[in-house]
A and B are shown apart, each in its own frame.
Chain A
Amino acid sequence: MDYVVILLLQIGSAVASLVLLSIGLAVIFGMMRVINLAHGEFLMLGGYAAITAYNKGVNLWIAMLVVAPLTVGLFGALVERLVIRHLYGRLIDTMLATWGLSLAMIGFVTVVFGNTVSGISAPLGSLSIGGYRTGRYEIFLIGVAALLLVAGWLVLRYTRLGLIARGTMQNSAMAAALGTNPSAVYAVTFAVGAALTGLAGGLLVPLSGVVPTIGAAYIAKAFITVISGGAAILSGTAIAAALLGAINTLTTFAFTSVLGEVALLAAAVVLLRLLPQGITGRFFRRAL
């Protein structure tokens, strides 16, 4: 019984991880059809922002929950102004430009922070369940991921901002005709997506540390989760994360963690072949 609880917590943790990694990318891709290949580096930047603040004496929670998202959100707004807005509608070109951005960010951070791994030890200690132990911090992250999804749904469904965002996403010309400014909406959306990513980057530091090249480890998973999820930002990401996270954890438990990774990747390939528009391209099409 304890074994099952631990297994479920591990699955929850893997799913939460994927949700956190992907939510920012999903907002940007889902709303603007922009593929931000520098997403991994935005995560990395969030991590460095959190660590730098923490090392300067800022409270850990403030560093992770406030400093990280603010820093990356502002950076995202800057990137949108300078680069992304010139390439709207050009999917491949945005991929390439953001790839260049990712390289530049890796280079810049290497110059400033050097090549070594930095980290923070996980707060909140550990929890014993029967003969097993698990970190309380991982459980905290499950809560954060769930909170983000719920908050996102509430904002999109019930606030004016959410309505404007959804309208612009579905038909920007029409939204413009009704008085919203699409370019302002895009700028805010990109900044929000970046901020969410920064938040995730900060929160994940206690679990995996941070190094300039850590983005590469994240980008593939985030990318895969978002594309497999399909057009619906929240439900798509949630469902894809649940599916892929479960497959990853179960395979890891049965074999090794590397095979768990391979299983996740292989599952994504099969999923995309069967559902080329992503999961919410076929099921739950009207969901948020």
Chain B
Amino acid sequence: MSRVASHLGNVVVLIGGLGALFGLPALAETYLIINATIFAAFAILALSLALIWGYAGILCFGQAAFFGLGGYTYAVAAINFGETTSAAALAILLPTIFAALLGYFMFWGRISDVYLGVITLTVSLILYRFVNQTAGEQWNIGDAPLGGFNGIPATPILNWPGRPGDQLAPENIFSLTVGLLLIAYFGCKILLATRFGRIIVAIRENETRAELLGYDVRLYKLAIFMIGGALAALSGLLFANSVFVSPTMFSLPVSGQIIIWVIIGGLGTLIGPLIGCILMQVLTNQLGTLNQVKGFAWVDPNLVLGVLLVVFVLLVPRGLTGLATDAWRWLAGLTRRRSPAAAQAVQERTSNP
């Protein structure tokens, strides 16, 4: 993308984000605000995979693992500590450490591609199976029951730092989530522009060459994997505040959905997966409602999502952002005078994004 378009895009995102941040609480009712909070929390989850897959080439089939760990750690810690600030910090720290261990296990073993997918999938499944059967008192952690397949019934809501007992209202949680989403988004953009970020992209392009240049790719992959895990954990703890904590956070459909968001939004961009996530969330909700309407029983959400995914993989492999970029170029091509030299110039320019 050209410099101008890129800066323009950033400004649009910033304005849009701030608009939602300040506009929504003022205009919408609580039910909508809570829904929007969930969407925003999922958007952070989408961002985590967009980063490690789109830019580092790590297709993790088990991001749900960190999502779930974030939610559960927060709930258990908050119940035991009686206040949420340190619980939130722990909820990000613990999954990041888990990501470090899993990453070390995989990257030092030179595991990649499909085998990495299988291992991450299996790990999230292990967590799901395990947490699912933790009903009963012997599985309590301190004062917190893990609750088996029902999950933990009452997640303590975030309180204002230093004032335990003074809980944030839904509007505040919304603002916090969207604010964190914006920070995470622009933080990732900045990260990708640093030396570290550029090397990560190079590693994705050709790991052998990166090694031949003297980079220890294992360390770089580990670092970005940990960042992805931390983001997913953050998403989990925010989700826990809007819904509640249950084993489905670790489940296969969750990991699958994140991948679908990224594919539909556009692999290799940050904004694409965010848009993909929000769109798919809205679509799934609408489909679920529609499914209940008489005569529309055939509109099963799984059926529609499945067909969409197949269509996108076959026909729109670069996702919505790919479509948008192609449309932009086509439009730009239309407005240029059609002389052979000009056409050639357009050709040159459009092959160097």
Do chains A and B directly touch (beta carbons under 8 Å) in the complex? yes
Interchain Cβ contacts within 8 Å, total number: 119
Taking the complex as formed, is A26 at the interface, i.e. its CB lies under 8 A from any CB of chain B?
Answer: no
Q: What is the size category of the interface that chain B forms with chain A? A: 35 or more
Complex contact B300–A111 (CB within 8 A):
yes
Q: Mark A208-240, 1 if CB is under 8 A from B, else 0.
A: 000000001001100110010000000000000
Taking the complex as formed, is B317 at the interface, i.e. its CB lies under 8 A from any CB of chain A?
Answer: yes
Interface members, chain A 102-118 (any B CB < 8 Å): 102-108, 110-111
Q: Mark B130-170, 1 if CB is under 8 A from A, else 0.
A: 10110000000000000000000000000000000000000
Assuming the contacts A110-B300, A272-B118, A276-B110, asked whether A265 and B306 have C-beta atoms less than 8 A apart, the reply is no
Q: Mark B299-317, 1 if CB is under 8 A from A, else 0.
A: 0111111111111111001
Interface members, chain B 288-308 (any A CB < 8 Å): 297-298, 300-308
Of B114, B130, B132, the contact of A35 (CB 8 Å cutoff): B114
Interface members, chain A 249-268 (any B CB < 8 Å): 256, 258, 261-262, 265-266, 268
Residue among A83, A101, A102, A276 having the largest count of chain B Cβ atoms under 10 Å: A276
Of B115, B129, B263, B307, the contact of A227 (CB 8 Å cutoff): B115
Taking the complex as formed, is B122 at the interface, i.e. its CB lies under 8 A from any CB of chain A?
Answer: yes
Interface members, chain A 143-162 (any B CB < 8 Å): none
Q: Please, how many residues of chain A have a CB less than 8 angstroms from a CB on the other chain?
A: 39
Q: Is the interface of A mostly helix, strand, loop or mixed?
A: helix
Chain B: CB-nearest residue to A104: B306
Residue among B110, B123, B297, B300 having the largest count of chain A Cβ atoms under 10 Å: B300
> Which B residues form the contact surface with A (CB < 8 A)?
59, 105-106, 109-111, 113-115, 117-119, 121-123, 125-126, 129-130, 132-133, 252-253, 256, 259-260, 263, 297-298, 300-314, 317
Pull 18 A–B residue pairs with CB atoms less than 8 Å apart, ordered by A.
A83-B310, A92-B59, A93-B317, A96-B309, A97-B310, A100-B260, A100-B310, A100-B313, A104-B303, A106-B302, A107-B301, A107-B304, A108-B303, A220-B125, A258-B130, A261-B129, A269-B126, A272-B115
> Which A residues form the contact surface with B (CB < 8 A)?
35, 83, 86-87, 91-93, 95-97, 99-108, 110-111, 216, 219-220, 223-224, 227, 256, 258, 261-262, 265-266, 268-269, 272-273, 276
